[in-house]
A and B are shown apart, each in its own frame.
Chain A
Amino acid sequence: MPSSRKGLADLAGLVPAMVLFGVFIAVPMLGALALSFFRWNGLGTPTWAGGANWVQFVHDPLARQALEVTAKVVVLSWIVQTPISIALGLFTAGRQRYRSVYAALFVLPLLLSTAGIALMWEALLDPEFGGITALGNSLHLGFLQQNWLGDPALTIYVLIALIAWQFIPFHTLLYQMGRRQIPAVLFEAALLDGASHAQLFWRVTLPQLRYTIVTSSTLIIVGSLTYFDIIYIMTNGGPGYTTRVVSLDMYQTAFQQNEFGYASVLAVVLGVVGVAVALGLVRYSGFGSMTSQQEGAA
């Protein structure tokens, strides 16, 4: 009977992908939770620690600072990236030829790996021989002469700017697509009603972009919550602990101090906050019901 044969087909289709996902994503997820209740230096046998790691986490000033730095990265990344991406997205959505040239060039940072971006900016920001300093000297702009990656008051903002440089191109692309999916009829109708440019933007464009805004915001927030690469390569948390975000704290706790149990607490915190933010934004915005509206978009 077909039903058993279909069951077999289900098995053949689903099992390989689910085994791969289960072994390398789901099991480690549960592993992190379990490990957070053990003490383990990576060698020997893990010893049961009860809630000790979690108590340590609550009282750890470095963890608190890491949380604060991470919060700063998340909030400022959203504030910086969102308006710029919307503006650039609306600009590149235009069909004029020069705009498509702009759009193509805007994508370039997406091709560079994070490591490549970090190395490029390290060369540019070198306080002695870097390109920014050279530019400051040529143009007599003294403020360009800074210890960009060594000044405790400045470095975190430099990193946030570089993260924006890396990711704005992607979000621009999202808003470009979002804008192009708004039916032209809506604008024509608003124009016939005598809407001004500002009204068109606030009353038509922005509300119509709401799903794109949710998608983009979720990606920015979850992405910057767990951001690691550029910070690890460029400052490794310094100067002092001023750029040590939670994911870096976790990495150093695990792989430099060999405290796998305590590192897992930080991992669980990251995972839970990340999932909560993603699901919260999706539910709060009614994003789950969007499927039919976007049907056929790809």
Chain B
Amino acid sequence: MSQTVARPARAQPAAHGARTATRARRRRPSPGRVLAFILATVWLVVVIAPIYYMVLASLRSQGTYLTANPWLPRGGLTLAEYGTVFGAGLGRYLLNSVILTAVCIVLTLSLCLGAAFRIVRRSTRAAGVTFRILLLGLAIPIQAIIVPLYLLVYKLHLYNTLFALMLVMSAAAVPVSVLIMVSFVRDIPRELIGAVLVDGGSEWTVFRRLIVPLSRPVLATLAIYDGLNVWNNFILPLVLTQSNNVAVLPLGLTKLEGLYSINVPAIMAAVLLSVLPLVILFVMLRKQVMRSLGSVAIR
């Protein structure tokens, strides 16, 4: 069915309405549509232009960045600064970010699916209480607990370790992940679970044979959503780590900025290298990524 919103001729019988409407739209776009198109195109420029500028700047040498027109691809381009920042520790930051993100995704998804499964089965009151606590946890901004979190991590002798970030970031992802998983697992038909139990399966069998395989779509969605949050988080690494050897990318970028404050091409190269893994993933999984980001918030 056509999604068009144009006006069909009044006299047309309902069955022909949609087709006529499509033709009407082709001929005379509504003012709203024209406005939306103009706005969208302006926004496209606002989104693309800074990124284009960054790409071009990263291909300059320090000298040509200051002399050539930074918006035109003329006057000598080079990949030299990419080498500079890689030598200055960006590789290490990249590795730290990959390890942290991978561990957080695995930890969050495995723990939360178990919890969501029990909440849906709701055999004890604890499950219901848990669910309500998590609903509240959803509303707590991480900034509001950063001070005691720092003190806690310090007391546990985890300050300045990737391990602390793994635990804290996974914990921060628990409420949203469990809630989304609950609303997904709830839709798995009871009859399927009943069938496994009748065949002599335990709750564990139900979980392993039924819940885990059927939850694959929601696991993919949350892997993207939680993963992106961990990858880009800034304040937790800022407060909970210090040394270069445990710095993750967002923090590492600001460290590089301190190191190369006047070498803009180097900094732009670092930013682009830091986003490269995500761009590659995005190109491969574009539809899935866009659906994930949207559906998580809709829930």
Q: By the criterion CB–CB under 8 Å, are A14 and B36 in contact?
A: no
Residues 249-291 (chain B) with a chain A CB within 8 angstroms: 249-251, 253-254, 257, 264, 267-268, 270-271, 274-275, 278-279, 282, 286, 289-291
Residues A116 and B250 in contact in the complex (CB < 8 Å), given A17-B174, A21-B171, A188-B17: yes
Chain B residues with Cβ below 8 Å from A192 are 8, 14, 17
* Residues of chain B at the chain A interface (Cβ within 8 Å): 1-3, 5-8, 10, 14, 17-18, 21, 30-32, 35-37, 39-40, 43-44, 46-48, 50-51, 53-54, 57, 65-66, 69-71, 111-112, 114-115, 117-119, 121, 123-124, 126-127, 130, 133-134, 136-152, 167-168, 170-172, 174-175, 178, 180, 183-184, 187, 202-204, 207, 217-218, 221, 228, 231-232, 234-235, 238-239, 249-251, 253-254, 257, 264, 267-268, 270-271, 274-275, 278-279, 282, 286, 289-291, 293-295, 297-299
Interface membership of A298, Cβ < 8 A: yes
Q: By the criterion CB–CB under 8 Å, are A229 and B234 in contact?
A: yes
Q: By the criterion CB–CB under 8 Å, are A119 and B171 in contact?
A: no
Interface membership of A51, Cβ < 8 A: no
Chain B residues with Cβ below 8 Å from A255 are 150, 239
Residues A25 and B171 in contact in the complex (CB < 8 Å), given A6-B203, A135-B71, A298-B298: yes
Residues A113 and B204 in contact in the complex (CB < 8 Å), given A25-B171, A251-B146, A270-B143: no
Q: Report the Cα distance A228→B238, complex, angstroms.
A: 11
Chain B residues with Cβ below 8 Å from A289 are none
Q: Could you show 24 A-B contacts with beta carbons less than 8 Å apart? A: A7-B124, A25-B172, A28-B147, A115-B251, A116-B275, A119-B257, A120-B50, A120-B54, A123-B267, A129-B65, A131-B71, A184-B3, A215-B297, A225-B141, A232-B238, A250-B147, A254-B146, A254-B150, A260-B151, A274-B139, A291-B183, A294-B299, A297-B298, A298-B299
Question: Would you give the 0/1 interface string for A94-128, flagging 1 where the beta carbon is closer than 8 Å to chain B?
Answer: 11000000111111111111111001111110100
